Amino acid sequence: MRQAERRRPGTSRRGVRSAAARRRQDQDPVRDHQQARQADRRGVRADQDAHRRGRAAALAGRRLARQRRAHRPLLPRRLGRHRLSRRAARRGDSAGRAHRPLLRRVQRDDNRSRVPQGAPCRERDRRAGTLLRDGLRSSRGRRARRDRSRLKRPGSDPFGGQTPRVGGVERTLPWSWYADPEVLRREGQQIFARAWQYAGHTGQLEGDGSYFASAAGQIPVVVTRARDVRLRAFLNVCRHRGHVVAAGAGRRETLQCPYHAWTYGLDGALRAAPRADREPGFDFGELGLQEIAVDTWGPFVFVNPDPHAMPLAETLGDVPARLAEIVDVDALEFRFRTEFELDANWKIACENFLECYHCAVAHPGFTAAVDVSPDSYRLEADGLTSSQLGPLRENGDSFLAHGEVGRSQFHFLWPNFGINVFPGQPNLSCGAILPLGPERTARFLDYFFTPGVDQSWIDELMAFDDQIGREDTALVEGVQRGVRTGVLPEGRLLSESEQLVAHFQRLCAEALAE
Ligand code: FES
Ligand SMILES: [Fe+2]
């Protein structure tokens, strides 16, 4: 297509290119240098003529030659002329008067760089697009720097000391925080390095001598059960030069780093390091894997990279008791895991989980089964937990109405753990929302059922859940495309229907402001 346009004689693109070429020639320092030399020669000739006319005239000729030599371009011609003529104009002397025409020329040149009225639309659009893009880039950069500086001030808040409510509704976090690598780096330090996070389930550690690799945010971790039956967790980072040590899950006595084969026991101790015997003073005792906190609730295994972490039970709050009203987590068996990735910041995926304001709009299947009206669908935030409690619709004929679980519960544990229990037969799915980059997120869901649940009911649930997942993926990625543009600084939250999103955002802001 572009080729054809280029061949067509007299088209707008050819015209534009030749105009651009003319401008480039105008700024050609070699050409300017030649012009200045010609001006010198003209000055010398004027000097010689003047000598014949008399001494006073000769002085005037030399003066003109000096003025012209002053135009030799050390800088691109336009800038050099502009500076010279403005300085001369300020002086108000004869040289200044002599250069005024040049100043007007500069102004004409500047005008010429604007899009001419008669320019072809495509070219006008291209130039306007460039200007808009450049403007957005610079304002986006300024906004990101301003928003980041709020992160760094101890005790500062993302709303810059202004009320978080505008027009009756609450401001969101700055949208620049959803695409900024620096914000994600700080979230790694201030949030994921300090919080309890779901790593996997006890079914992955059956038998002594087993392990599974996982992640706390972007921090690689490994959970082990050694022969002493003790549950342990470690940073999954080699103490030699930092390679990730373990991958996947399995049963074995040791974990060996794939880089230089340093080998660790499941208790974290360094057991072997090739050529260590040639290193005087090599201390195996100091080079074990770094241990981190680990704990369980029912079949769920949580880790916390912070060695001074508060007990897991404090993070869980009332969630275990509330879940116990509808499902016995100790009776659940792990059945399978689903994994997927999203083109979105991890916080957008969390926020999508934390409200059902969108359900009536985006999830017709779910809304047909569960009453999502604001008077029936309850939202509760307490400490580090958020809960959504949705009853089945009366007289609904969904497969979700068939079973002993009479209502849904959806819980969220700060910072990134979601739990789903649908009505119907005893079921629970849960998993972490993990940042892969500022605009890329990984999600996994572990599905648990009690042993007697029908496979046909599980199949129906999975089809139902897949549909909701596809609908949410489109929404989350659509939000990312909007917030990443930097065109608007922030959004608004409904104080009632989006109170859990607001709670999550306040926890984010507090963590990052520390
Ligand atoms: S980085 Fe692990 S053995 Fe070298
Ligand atoms: Fe949703």
Tell me the sheet residues that pair with 409.
389, 421
Superfamily of segment(s) 198-308: Rieske [2Fe-2S] iron-sulphur domain (2.102.10.10)
How many C-beta atoms surround the C-beta of residue 260 within 10 A? 13
Instruction: Compute the mean pLDDT over every residue in the chain, rounded to the nearest whole number.
Output: 78
Cβ(200)–Cβ(223) below 8 Å? yes
pLDDT of residue 147: 55
> Model confidence over 257-305: pLDDT tens digits?
999 999 999 999 999 999 999 999 999 999 999 999 999 999 999 999 9
pLDDT tier at 30, thresholds 50, 70, 90: very low
Q: What is the ipTM of this complex?
A: 0.98
Q: Which of 235, 241, 245, 289 to mutate to test the pocket of ligand 1 (most atoms within 8 A of CB)?
A: 241
CA dist 256 and 235 (Å) reads 14
Q: CA-to-CA distance for 222 and 289, rounded, in angstroms? A: 10
Contacts of 159 (CB under 8 A, 6+ apart): 171
Among residues 466, 426, 470, the alpha carbon closest in space to that of 448 is found at 426
The ligand that comes nearest to the alpha carbon of residue 468 is: 2
Nearest CA to ligand 1 atom 1: 241
What is the domain partition of the chain in residue ranges? 32-112, 121-196+309-514, 198-308
pLDDT, mean of residues 113-137: 38
Closest by Cα among 409, 406, 367 to 388: 409
The DSSP element (H or E) to which 61 belongs, if any, is helix 55-69
User: In this structure, which residue's CA is closest to atom 4 in ligand 1?
Assistant: 260
Backbone angles phi, psi at 19, to 5 degrees: -65, -40
Expressed in angstroms and rounded, the spacing between residue 257 Cα and the centre of ligand 1 is 6
- Separation CA 165–CA 110 (nearest Å): 45
pLDDT of residue 92: 35
Name the residue of 234, 237, 238, 284 whose CB sits within 8 Å of the most ligand 1 atoms, as the mutation to test its pocket.
Answer: 238
pLDDT digit string (tens) for 400-448? 999 999 999 999 999 999 999 999 999 999 999 999 999 999 999 999 9
Residue 148's pLDDT band (cuts 50, 70, 90) = low
Rounded distance between C-alpha atoms, residue 299 and residue 212, angstroms: 14
Check residue 230 and give left, alpha or beta (phi > 0: left; psi -120 to 50: alpha).
Answer: beta
Check if the beta carbon of residue 175 is closer than 8 Å to that of residue 351: no
Report whether 422 contacts 388 (CB < 8 A): no
User: Is residue 10's pLDDT more than 90?
Assistant: no
Confidence check: pLDDT of 154 > 60: no
Q: Which of 236, 260, 282 gets mutated to test ligand 1 (max ligand atoms within 8 A of its CB)?
A: 260
On the question of a common fold for 121-196+309-514 and 198-308, the answer reads: no
Which tens digits make up the pLDDT trace of 316-335? 999 999 999 999 999 999 99
Nearest ligand to the CA of 243 is: 1
CATH class, domain 121-196+309-514, is alpha beta
User: What is the distance in A from the centroid of ligand 2 to the CA of 363?
Assistant: 7
Cβ–Cβ < 8 Å for 69, 90: no
